[in-house]
Amino acid sequence: MPLAEQRRRHLPAGAAFGWLAEGWRDLWRNPLPSLLYGLAVFLLSVAVVWLLFRLEIDYILFPALAGFMVVGPLVAIGLYRKSQDLEEGVAPSLSRMVFVRAASGSQVWFAGAILCLLMLVWMRAAVIIYALFVGLRPFPGLDHVVSMLLSTPEGLGMIAVGTVVGGLFAAFSFAISTFAIPMLLAERTDAFTAMGTSISLVFRNLRVMLAWGFIVLALTMLGIATGLVGLIVIFPLLGHGTWHSYRAIR
């Protein structure tokens, strides 16, 4: 293996902050398309939250917010396109970011379908965990759920088990998708090969990918904590940064 290849596959944890800085640079180079993209993600997220309340299934709100991170790499494909265009000297445009033509063709959407299925499985698992600890009692509502979780043995047990199960789902989805979607955009390959390669690259660079995963989690939680408004900037930032993580390691 060439020396340059070895370096790319053994990056220090601090390299993750370099990807974030490069993502910030891409965000503010012709920023309007990225910000409009982030605005669309914000509006879509608000619409989903409104729909959950409208249908009176707000008990899956927290699993749905967590599941957003599972499908995030697919949603960010237009941001990868902009970063790729900037690398190649092509003028970025919102139309190219929305109507993306991937080198792998329909395989990228097949991978997206797998991620959506994984998110649905996680949401069903979360409902089952709730039923195992709380039984058939109705959801107490968002006004009372925090006190129930923190002040009852059932709630504490549910937090512990949910954290472990959710962490396994998150780790698996992160490993299969973080490089797979950018790879399917830039290279001619199939979904399963891309996902397998993504898993391999993540584990070969575990330190830096753990650091990047922590950055993604922390900034996403910050975006949610701002009533989702922060996603207008945070989502494009992470999308552009993820493209640079792929370019650095692949």
pLDDT number for residue 167: 80
Q: What is the pLDDT of residues 218-238, one digit of tens each?
A: 999 999 999 999 999 999 999
Q: How far apart are CA 148 and CA 166, in angstroms?
A: 19
| Higher-scoring residue by pLDDT: 241, 149 | 241
41 belongs to a structural domain: yes
The pLDDT of 65-93, averaged and rounded, is 90
Q: How many structural domains compose the chain?
A: 1
Task: Write out the DSSP string of 198-240.
Answer: HHHHHHHTHHHHHHHHHHHHHHHHHHHHTTTTTHHHHHHHHHH
pLDDT number for residue 13: 87
Domain of 90 in residue numbering reads as 12-249
- For the chain, what is the total number of helices (H) and then of strands (E)? 13, 0
7 belongs to a structural domain: no
The answer to whether 119 and 71 have CB atoms below 8 angstroms apart is yes
Mean pLDDT lowest among 13-27, 67-81, 154-168: 154-168
Mean pLDDT lowest among 16-25, 81-90, 103-112, 125-134: 125-134
Q: How far apart are CA 62 and CA 65, in angstroms?
A: 5
pLDDT band (50, 70, 90) for residue 4: very low
132 has pLDDT over 50: yes
pLDDT number for residue 99: 92
pLDDT number for residue 213: 92
For residue 71, the number of C-alpha atoms closer than 13 Å in the C-beta half-sphere is 22
pLDDT number for residue 64: 79
Helix axes 15-27, 31-54, angle to 10 degrees: 100
160 has pLDDT over 90: no
Task: Write out the DSSP string of 59-97.
Answer: GGHHHHHHHHHHHHHHHTHHHHHHHHHHHHTPPP-HHHH
2 belongs to a structural domain: no
50 belongs to a structural domain: yes
Q: Write down the pTM of the prediction.
A: 0.86
Q: How far apart are CA 183 and CA 196, in angstroms?
A: 11
Angle at 73 between CA 72 and CA 79, to 5 degrees: 105
Angle at 215 between CA 61 and CA 241, to 5 degrees: 105
95 has pLDDT over 70: yes
5 belongs to a structural domain: no
Contacts of residue 217, defined as CB under 8 A and 6 or more positions apart, other chains included, come to 69
- Average pLDDT taken over every residue of the chain: 86
6 belongs to a structural domain: no
165 belongs to a structural domain: yes
42 belongs to a structural domain: yes
Q: What is the pLDDT of residues 177-208, one digit of tens each?
A: 999 999 999 999 999 999 999 999 998 899 99
Distance from the first to the final alpha carbon of the chain? 13
59 has pLDDT over 80: no
The answer to whether 178 and 245 have CB atoms below 8 angstroms apart is yes
| Higher-scoring residue by pLDDT: 16, 138 | 16
pLDDT number for residue 5: 46
Residue that has been written with the tokens 């959801």 in this structure: 139
